[in-house]
Amino acid sequence: MAEKITLNMITQRAIEEGQAMEKGKTTPEYFQACSIVEMNPKDMKKLGIWRNTNVRVTSEAGSVIVKAIEPTQFVPPGLAHIRQGVWANQVVPPRTQSTGVPQYSGFPVTIEPAINERIKSALELVQGAVGIWKGGN
């Protein structure tokens, strides 16, 4: 059992995310759809966590607490997926290889258990990042 593991992260669309986004990014549906990381059960075992455990995902750009779930669409060991959106973009590196497009897919992250940590809401993450978060939900 490792304290943390390094995985290759991709962030892409999901229909659950699309539907929740149109309902509103401050809704519980959006929170539920996007504040997750999908990883292979073998990687969860390596990390010594159960499914639905909160984890800290850290990249060169930052870190975020999300819930580790079993993949809704199969993810092989070594790969991890956060649905595009607020939580994913806390860790997406802004480097663009001079094309304008940030590294949304294919960047290394470390994942460690964070059982007692709270998953922040979308507003808290974005408003917090720019220094105007006032608390509440």
Asked whether position 125 contacts other proteins by CB under 8 A, the answer is yes
Which secondary-structure segment (H or E) carries 82?
Answer: strand 79-83
Q: How far apart are CA 27 and CA 75, in angstroms?
A: 27
Q: Which of positions 22-41 make contact with other proteins (CB under 8 A)?
A: 22-26
For 52-81, give one letter per residue: b (16+ CB within 10 A) or e.
eebbbbbbebeebbbbbeeeeeebeeebbb
Q: How far is CA 124 from CA 87, 93, 111, in A?
A: 11, 20, 22
Pick the binder of other proteins from 115, 132, 136, 137 (CB under 8 A).
Answer: 132
In degrees, to the nearest 5, what angle opens at C-alpha 63 toward C-alphas 106 and 103? Answer: 25
Pick the binder of other proteins from 75, 82, 109, 114 (CB under 8 A).
Answer: 75
Pick the binder of other proteins from 37, 90, 111, 120 (CB under 8 A).
Answer: 90
Among the listed ranges 17-25, 43-51, 112-120, the one in contact with other proteins (CB under 8 A) is 17-25
**What φ, ψ does residue 107 adopt, rounded to 5°?**
-135, 145
Pick the binder of other proteins from 4, 46, 56, 61 (CB under 8 A).
Answer: 61
Report, in Å, the least distance between residue 41 CB and other proteins.
14
Residue numbers at the binding site for other proteins (CB under 8 A): 8, 10-15, 18-19, 21-26, 61-62, 71, 73-76, 79, 81, 84-86, 89-90, 92-94, 96-106, 122-123, 125-127, 129-130, 132, 134
